[in-house]
């Protein structure tokens, strides 16, 4: 089975579970889209109004900014894979609850397993928390680290960049880190924090996916 076919199977699995949280209140499932062979996977928070309407991730204002950020590193949206931690829109765009994130985690994990990206870029604190449960985004943004063999780069959510000029400047800079990681991962990872190195070598660390 091709990666695309495997992803379609996971999408159908979600759609067949109508009892998943948020499912009854959303217009449609927003599974994710992009190149199944992508080297880079972006993980956001949850679908918003436009994503819920169109069934595609990051197509509203935050999505348009994400597209610009992706283009700023010489890539097209079609060359990466984009998804969210939860696949249905929370009412009034509220934050997803821990139980909702947990319910959708097996599907996100399957997406990661199928795509096997070299780099995962987390957008905002909810997807960051999946990989770095104790981290503060203001402290770790733009710092790549290797987690379970994948380079994870935590970044600010584009919606936060739209609200604050300083976050916008930081986000623009952080995006350039992706370019550096693609060109020479080892040299960038060498500068990664001591905390992340300790985390990687901790034998008691639970596998994340």
The interface with ligand URA within residues 57-116 (CB under 6 A) comprises 57-58, 60, 62-63, 84
45 lies in the binding site for ligand URA (CB under 6 A): yes
Question: Candidates 4-12, 43-51, 96-104, 194-202 — which segment interacts with ligand URA by CB under 6 A?
Answer: 43-51
CB of 162 to ligand URA, least distance (A): 11
Using CB under 6 A as the binding criterion, the count of chain residues that bind ligand URA stands at: 13
Is the Cβ–Cβ distance between 104 and 85 less than 8 Å? yes
DSSP type of residue 142: T
Is the Cβ–Cβ distance between 58 and 138 less than 8 Å? no
> 45 or 100, CB closer to ligand URA?
45
Is the Cβ–Cβ distance between 150 and 113 less than 8 Å? no
Q: What are phi and psi of 155, to 5 degrees?
A: -135, 160
Give the Cα separation of 6 and 12 in Å (integer).
Answer: 10
Give me the 149-168 binding string for ligand URA, x by CB under 6 A, dash otherwise.
----------x---------
Q: What are phi and psi of 60, to 5 degrees?
A: -90, -155
Question: Candidates 56-64, 129-137, 142-150, 195-203 — which segment interacts with ligand URA by CB under 6 A?
Answer: 56-64
Show the beta-strand stretches assigned E in 11-52: 33-34, 40-44
Question: Candidates 38-46, 98-106, 114-122, 167-175 — which segment interacts with ligand URA by CB under 6 A?
Answer: 38-46
Q: What are phi and psi of 81, to 5 degrees?
A: -120, 135
Contacts to ligand URA by CB under 6 A: 44-48, 51, 57-58, 60, 62-63, 84, 159
């Amino acid at each position: 089975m091709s990666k695309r076919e495997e992803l379609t199977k996971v999408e159908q699995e979600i759609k067949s579970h109508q009892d998943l949280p948020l499912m009854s209140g959303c217009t449609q499932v927003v599974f994710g889209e992009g190149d199944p062979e992508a080297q880079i996977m972006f993980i956001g928070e949850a679908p918003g109004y436009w994503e819920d309407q169109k069934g595609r991730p990051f197509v509203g204002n935050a999505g348009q900014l994400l597209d610009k950020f992706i283009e700023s590193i010489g890539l097209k949206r079609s060359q990466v894979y984009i998804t969210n931690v939860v696949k249905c829109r929370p009412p009034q765009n509220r934050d997803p609850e821990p139980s909702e994130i947990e319910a959708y985690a097996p599907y996100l994990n399957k997406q990661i397993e199928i795509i096997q990206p070299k780099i995962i870029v987390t957008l905002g604190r909810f997807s960051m928390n999946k990989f770095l449960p104790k981290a503060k985004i203001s402290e770790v943004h733009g710092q790549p680290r290797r987690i379970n063999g994948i380079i994870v780069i935590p970044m600010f959510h584009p919606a936060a960049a739209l609200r604050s000029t300083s976050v916008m400047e930081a986000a623009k800079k952080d995006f350039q880190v992706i370019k550096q990681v693609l060109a020479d991962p080892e040299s960038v990872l060498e500068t990664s924090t001591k905390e992340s190195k300790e985390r990687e070598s901790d034998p008691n660390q639970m596998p994340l996916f």
